[in-house]
Chains A and B, each alone.
Chain A
Amino acid sequence: MRKGYVWNAALWVLLVHPALWAAGAGEALFRTHCAPCHGPKGEGGRGADLAVRRLPRAPDDAALSAIITTGIPGTQMPATRMTAEENAALVAYVRSLGRTQAVRAPGDAANGKRLFQTKGNCAGCHTVGGAGGRLGPELTDIGTRRGPAYLRTALLEPEAEVPENFASYRKLIYTPDNFLWVRAVTADGKQVSGARVDEDTFSIQIRDASDRLYSFRKDELRELHKDWGKSPMPSYRSVFSESELQDLVAYLASLQGPS
């Protein structure tokens, strides 16, 4: 009996709620076809991060559907074969991955903007809308890439989740995007520390806190230290009050890309 009840309920869901069926089917298709490269939650890996609001190669659902069908020539994204219903279910599921925090962050974004530029001195290291420093990540569209909870943690514990990259999954010339903090000592004893801009087997490029760019051949260096898991960003726990923190998070969440 109990079994029958479950079955009836399942049937009801399938017949009465095709949208629910599509969501479940989309997730299952995603696990099979997409997760091997894009990660189980679409967070990226060998393939691109799909848990974003705007997919750079798929501005609308038709474009996403076409990419799923034909792949992307010149990349490792292959063609897939599925029914139109399956394709549509998968498109809907992929779109759902990017819906981060539809709820507006509480707080006064205007005051947050003021704190960003004054008390926090955030613009010393971060660029918004073309103005600001270059030591840390560009934040012009940070509200589309990260939710308020993540942003709050980043302000209180900057080293809780230092950005990673997985170069080898991208068979492309790339520049690292994880702002790794490095310390170098040249053969003549000069010390340079800063964020790694780029690196290969024979050279490294570093930007220091005063925005000066260095390029070294590795055979010119006596020492090269990489501070994995470290961030030059200080914790703002003792800088901002709770309400100021809320305002700053509201401001960051409001940053939705170039206007």
Chain B
Amino acid sequence: MKPILMLCACAGSLAAQVPYARIAASASEPGSWLTYSGSYAGHRYSPLKQIDRTNVARLKPAWMYQTNDLNQFEATPIVADGVMYVSEPPSNAAALDLRTGRPLWIFRRALPSDVRACCGQVNRGLAILGDTVYLGTLDAHLLALDAKTGHVRWDVTVADYKTGYSITVAPLALQDKVIVGVAGGEYGVRGLLDAYDAKTGARLWRFWTVPGPGEPGHETWRGDSWKNGSATTWVTGSYDPASNLIYWGTGNPGPDYDGDVRQGDDLYADSVVALDASSGKLKWHFQFTPHDTHDWDSTHTPVLFDATVRGVARKLLMVANRNGFFYVLDRQTGEFVAGKPYAKVTWAKGLDNRGRPILVPGMDPKPEGTPVYPGVHGGTNWFSPSYSPETGLFYVGMREEGTTYYRATTDYQTGTYYTAGGIHGLAGVEPSGAIKALDPVTGDAKWEFPLHSPPWAGLLSTAGGLVFGGTNEGNLFALDAATGKPLWTFQAGGPALGNAVSYEFEGKQYVVLTAGRALMAFGVD
């Protein structure tokens, strides 16, 4: 046996001791990927630079792993101490040996046959803390699994799946707790965000994203509509340890297309909420799309960064929103700093000085149909953008696809589809897309790489000066982060629907991309 193998065995025996301090200091540990976005700041940026502009053309698969399920594979893997932890559809998880890609364990969740998932039975990833990994399930449970074996340590019910709740989001572990959100925005659930004790599974706090009677914001709902107001929380948020604030995006108000039953702004749907991590109390909110009737969930990972704006050093947060606008907010106060369209927008003329949209009349869904850009899947969607501190650019997969929205009247029935209308693609237009690099302070596009169809895959930027991503047609690619020029592409034979990560193992950098059922680790010889 060669010494390098013994080193590896050593690392294996230390497997998965990932205390909070390691995740909070993720920048000092670039070889691992310890949380959904690589860091609490939501950057999805790797400081690794072994793979760079000069050698990326030689990138080749080192190994592949295939999920055991035909549903869409949307997960972000976690990499720690020689092991990759990845969830797979519908609500399963696996630990993979980084040397070979072979599974060390696979956990399979037995799901009831009547779980509800509007848009595919998917899971977007795990969280790790200590020697435990955390998995949300389609029947709306949160599970703690032994990282060494995949055995269940605890299993708590977050919400009743029979009323339409499900969990597809990757949980966020911080300090001694696990934050998890819910899906179900097309079933008239009431949105929530929960924190659980990482050791015991005891619930520490709950934030209702739709305020109840007597709470501020309740008056933005008509009658009892708040009870089915949705505003779900199905994409992982960010965290700022300095202020102890969690930033989390919220989904569409329900029902999706008939706004009359819920006249008002419908807080806190289509917003980002800043919550105190210890208490779950709301510090501030910013609503991107007041009184939305186009299903523009603001379920995006907020990207935290610091910059000087008009001569003042500020702590900021940015979001390329499903509604077609790019926003920069003050992350201490929620104050609107800047915003402009990054995608085709026909529903608003612009944003006012508080960031509120200046509406174009007549854009609400009508029984005979209303064509609108962006369409129902948005100018972007749940998949992650990326921010490179090296280039100072924000990268986003942009979708150009309109929708004709139809309005109908639907009575709420517990656990059934509650959208009150329908959608259809625009006649005679083939949708398209692009990867865009935006200046994070001004929102100006620095470059644009055109895609054949609107993307469904997230982006990863690296210190090697690269942006990695994938297309619906199975093209995995690396672009020059400074210019957008394509430097590497690989036809993987299945649609790319997940978020990329990077890690180092035995002195070599790997980039992990997914397509179809396959997860692939790419490296340069």
A36 lies within 8 A of chain B by Cβ: yes
Interface of A is mostly: loop
Docked-complex contact A80 and B422, CB < 8 angstroms: no
Is B391 interfacial (CB 8 A cutoff)? no
Nearest chain A CB to B132 CB, angstrom units: 30
B75 CB, nearest partner CB in chain A, Å: 15
A36, B415: Cβ atoms closer than 8 Å: no
- Given known pairs A78-B117, A168-B377, the reply for A200 and B406 (CB within 8 Å) is no
A residues in contact with B114, CB < 8 Å: 79, 81
Selected contact of A168 from candidates B121, B401, B494, CB within 8 Å:
B401
A214 at the interface (CB under 8 A from B): no
Chain B residue nearest in CB terms to A204: B452
A200 to B452, Cβ gap below 8 A? yes
Asked if B428 CB lies within 8 Å of chain A CBs, one says yes
B425 and A78 contacting across the interface, CB-CB below 8 Å = no
Residue B12 interfacial (CB < 8 Å): no
- Distance to closest chain B CB from A130 (angstroms): 28
Complex partner residue of B70 from A74, A164, A168, CB under 8 angstroms: A74
Name B421's closest neighbour in chain A (CB-CB): A36
Query: Chain A contacts of B183 at CB under 8 A?
Result: none
Q: Verify if B103 is at the interface (C-beta below 8 Å from A).
A: no
Bound complex: CA of A37 vs CA of B256, how far in Å?
14
Smallest Cβ-Cβ distance to B432: which chain A residue: A168
With A32-B417, A78-B118, A167-B430 known to touch, is A173 a contact of B71 (CB < 8 Å)? no
Contact A167 B431 (CB under 8 A): yes
Please choose the segment from B20-28, B42-50, B148-156, B471-479 that sits at the chain A interface, where 4 or more of its residues have CB less than 8 A away.
B471-479
B423 within 8 A of A: yes
Which residues from 467 to 510 on chain B have a C-beta closer than 8 Å to any C-beta of chain A? 471-475, 477, 486, 489, 491, 493-495, 497
Which A residues are in CB contact (< 8 Å) with B451? 201
> Known interface pairs A80-B416, A173-B473. Does A228 touch B493 (Cβ–Cβ under 8 Å)?
no
Q: B113 within 8 Å of A by Cβ?
A: yes
B-side contacts of A169, CB under 8 Å? 425
- Give chain B residues whose Cβ lies under 8 Å from the Cβ of A107: none
- In the assembly, what is the distance between CA of A80 and CA of B114, in Å? 8
By the criterion CB–CB under 8 Å, are B419 and A74 in contact? no
Which of A7-15, A38-46, A55-63, A96-104 forms part of the interface with chain B?
A38-46
Contacts of A81 in B (CB 8 A): 114, 415-416
Complexed CA–CA distance, A45 and B422 (Å): 10
Beta-carbon contact of A171 and B71 below 8 Å: no
Residues of B within 8 A of A46 (CB): 423
Q: Select the residue from A31, A162, A200 with max chain B CB neighbours within 10 A.
A: A200
Which B residues between 414 and 439 are near A, CB-CB below 8 angstroms? 415-417, 419, 421-425, 427-428, 430-431, 433
B116 at the interface (CB under 8 A from A): yes
Determine whether the beta carbon of B430 is less than 8 Å from that of A201: no
Say whether A80 contacts B417, CB under 8 Å: yes
A249 interface residue (CB < 8 Å to B): no
* Contact indicator B71/A201 (Cβ below 8 Å): no
| Chain B binding surface, main DSSP class | loop
Given A76-B120, A201-B451, A166:B406 Cβ within 8 A: no
Q: With CB as the reference atom, state the residue of chain A lying closest to B451.
A: A201
- Count, chain A residues at interface, CB 8 A: 39
Residue from B456, B477, B493 in contact with A201 in the complex, judged by beta carbons closer than 8 Å: B477
Question: Which residues of the partner chain B approach A208 to less than 8 Å between Cβ atoms?
Answer: none
- B70:A40 contact, CB within 8 angstroms: no
Given contacts A45-B425, A76-B120, A168-B401, contact A201 B475 (CB under 8 A): yes
B410 lies within 8 A of chain A by Cβ: yes
Complex: how many Å from CA A171 to CA B416? 24
Known: A36-B423, A79-B116, A168-B454. A200 touches B430 (CB 8 A): no
Q: Which of A37, A46, A169 has the most CB of B within 10 A?
A: A169
B321 CB within 8 Å of chain A = no
Task: Confirm or deny: A5 has a beta carbon within 8 angstroms of a beta carbon on chain B.
Answer: no
- A215 near B: Cβ within 8 Å? no
Would you call B453 an interface residue if the criterion is a C-beta within 8 Å of the partner chain's C-beta atoms? yes
Given the complex of chains A and B, what is the CA–CA distance between A182 and B111 in angstroms? 48
Q: Is the CB of A73 within 8 A of B497?
A: no
Q: Are A201 and B406 within 8 A (Cβ)? A: no
A175 to chain B, nearest CB (A): 10
Task: Give Cα A81 to B116, complex, Å.
Answer: 10
Asked if B450 is at the interface of the complex by the 8 Å CB criterion, the answer is yes
Chain A residues in 8 Å Cβ range of B113 = 70, 79
- Quick check: is A35 within 8 A (CB to CB) of the other chain? yes
Residues of chain A contacted by B69 (CB below 8 angstroms): 74
Is A31 touching B408 in the complex (CB atoms < 8 A)?
A: yes
Interface residues of A in 216-258 (CB under 8 A from B): 228-229
In the assembled complex, the Cα of A172 lies from the Cα of B515 at a distance in Å of 10
B454 and A40 contact, CB distance less than 8 A: no
CB of B313 within 8 Å of the partner chain = no
Q: Is the CB of B71 within 8 A of A73?
A: yes
* Residues 156-188 of A at the B interface (beta carbon under 8 Å): 162, 164-169, 171-173, 178, 180
27 CB contacts below 8 A, A to B, read A32-B416, A35-B408, A35-B421, A40-B424, A45-B424, A70-B113, A73-B70, A74-B69, A76-B120, A78-B417, A82-B416, A162-B428, A165-B430, A166-B430, A166-B431, A167-B431, A167-B453, A168-B399, A168-B433, A168-B454, A168-B472, A173-B473, A173-B495, A178-B430, A199-B452, A201-B450, A201-B471
10 cross-chain pairs, A with B, having the tightest CB-CB distances, nearest first: A74-B70, A200-B473, A35-B422, A166-B425, A168-B454, A36-B422, A201-B452, A167-B453, A168-B431, A45-B424
